[in-house]
Amino acid sequence: MSLMRILFYYMFGPRLFKIYEVTTTGRLIDKSYKPKVLERWSDRVIISYTAVWSISPYAFASAAVFMYLQSYSVMDIAYYLGQVAAGANVILFTSLAVRGCSRANNAVYSKFLKALKDYQANPNTTTKQELCKYDFDFRSWPVEFQVSTLTGEKNREKLRLEEMKSNSGIRVILSFIIAYSFALKLIYPGSVSVINWALHPMLLKGRVDLVKQGGERYKLVTSDRNQIDTIFIDQRKKTTNGDILVITCEGNCGFYETGIISTPLNKGYSVLGWNHPGFGSSTGEPYPVQEENAVDCIMQFAKHQLMFPERKIILYGWSIGGYTATWAAMNYPSIHSLVLDATFDDILPLAIMTMPLLKGIVQDVIRLHFNLNIAEQLNRYDGTVLLIRRTNDEIVCSPANILAGNRGNMLLTKLLLRRYPYLFSDDSDSLTILNKFLSANINGRRLIIETLEIDDKHCLKLIANENQKNHEKISYPCNLGQNCDIKTKQQLTIFLTTMYMKDQPSSHCTPLSVELFQPGWDPVSAISMK
């Protein structure tokens, strides 16, 4: 290999962050990579150049306008701005060359680069183990799964929400401009590059902690060519729950390195965490279609490479992560369970509450470009569900900061209305009782339960009888409550509410209690309890 080619590899090689070592006692420890002085300083220049380059179109445009107003000719403006660009590129190339030379004289970096090239040339268990001793830029991490390589994947039909349309051409154009300029960043602040840059040390620390717990990092490529950063912690041979895989779907500023992954992990489940497109090291942007393709790729990876059948997968969505979780649930209906924590039914009411004076344009932007209707997707899935509501939630409330305004109430209500329509006949008043129950504090809920004289065994018996009519496999909408009196309908409504939804007395961002994380209640189980 020529000297120039070797220097090129060192110049453009990935940044190295951590080195993992196994002690004599078998414990995994991490050490920070210590670059030499020239590499450290050249890295700072390159990172600064990259940051400035991201805003250079705006800076150059502003400078050109300013110079034009100062009576500079077009040729002069082009000449001076060209000089600035040329000077910046000289500084960049010099920094790259200095970094390459410094790295070439660093034994640790040279050993890492050899491990990376060995795996790229001959991917196998041995070379992967060597590569996993390092934490480095994800852009250089080898691709280990591509959904497009699966036989029949391109022809597989996927369920999606119906696309909304507008009759006004002007409103369509305006909503498009807003959606593809700043709306995405407001809905998914975790995709803002500055936030990702600022959180890098925290994300690195979180990832190191997961690796120490047995986590293995993977790069997955979606059907639209986005690269998704994932981590898998395999507990199949360690714990009773390890045979079940929990796939986590984070919130709008959540990352697997610091997010909800810890709760199912501490419960003993195997866990697969991933970052939204545009979050952390994942590429792309979290528009709905890219989000759907990402979670679809995750499911395929879990099934075909990690070898977890659908019936042993729990989808766990927190906050806005409920969108990808319910999308996956309606496309993979045989999953073990769906857990939705601190999420909402539809993003539109929350968006309108944030900007009430722009209700019309907000509605167009949401419905045409960010139609995150979680309830609609949930109601296209008939499997086991657990909803977790935060009683002091300050984020998913409309009106704000009151229990009655928690959008989780509407998510549950829409679920019950679709699955058990006969409980909500016009004369039953069940909907009024349900709203009152969901708006009450813990003492108020107990009083309602006592007033209605709810008998759990009697309710389970009615549900079991309905299941047996359907050959022990309940289908929705079901006929439960069709021949019941008004009081029995109300009793069943509140009983089902307590089975489908659990409360955590906390704010939106408080980690979920390990005790509350469970697969949820399956109505078919009522037969065995009869």
Q: Which residue of the set 71, 426, 427, 471 is catalytic?
A: 471
**Rounded Cα gap, residues 243 and 500, in angstroms:** 24
Q: Which residue of the set 319, 337, 398, 428 is catalytic?
A: 319
SS3 375: helix
**Contact assessment for residue 389 and residue 442, using Cβ atoms and an 8 Å cutoff:** no
**Rounded Cα gap, residues 394 and 105, in angstroms:** 54
Strand-strand pairing, 215-221 and 134-136: unpaired
Mapped to the 3 state alphabet, what secondary structure does 99-124 carry?
A: HHHHHHCCHHHHHHHHHHHHHHHCCC
Helices (H) and strands (E) in the chain, counts: 20, 12
Sequence-distant (≥ 6) Cβ neighbours of residue 64 within 8 angstroms: 77, 81
393 is catalytic: yes
What are the strands of the beta sheet with 313-318, ordered from one edge?
145-146, 215-221, 227-233, 270-274, 245-249, 313-318, 337-341, 385-390, 501-504
DSSP string, 345-402: S-HHHHHHHHSGGGHHHHHHHHHHH----HHHHHTT--S-EEEEEETT-SSSBSSTT-
**Contact assessment for residue 400 and residue 512, using Cβ atoms and an 8 Å cutoff:** no
SS3 199: helix
Torsion angle defined by CA atoms of residues 501, 504, 510 and 513, in that order, rounded to the nearest 10 degrees: -90
Strand-strand pairing, 313-318 and 337-341: parallel
Residue with tokens 């041995």: 126
Cβ of 172: how many Cβ atoms within 10 Å?
Answer: 14
**Rounded Cα gap, residues 421 and 489, in angstroms:** 10
Residue 424: which of 467, 484, 384 has the closest Cα? 484
The DSSP output letter for 406 is B
* φ, ψ of residue 164 in degrees (nearest 5): -85, 155
**Contact assessment for residue 385 and residue 338, using Cβ atoms and an 8 Å cutoff:** yes
304 is catalytic: no
Cβ of 191: how many Cβ atoms within 10 Å?
Answer: 23
Q: Which residue of the set 229, 393, 398, 430 is catalytic?
A: 393
40 CA to centre of own chain: 33
Tokens of 470: 């359907």
Residue 241: which of 496, 489, 519, 522 has the closest Cα? 519
**Rounded Cα gap, residues 487 and 498, in angstroms:** 17
73 is catalytic: no
Catalytic residue annotation: 319, 393, 471
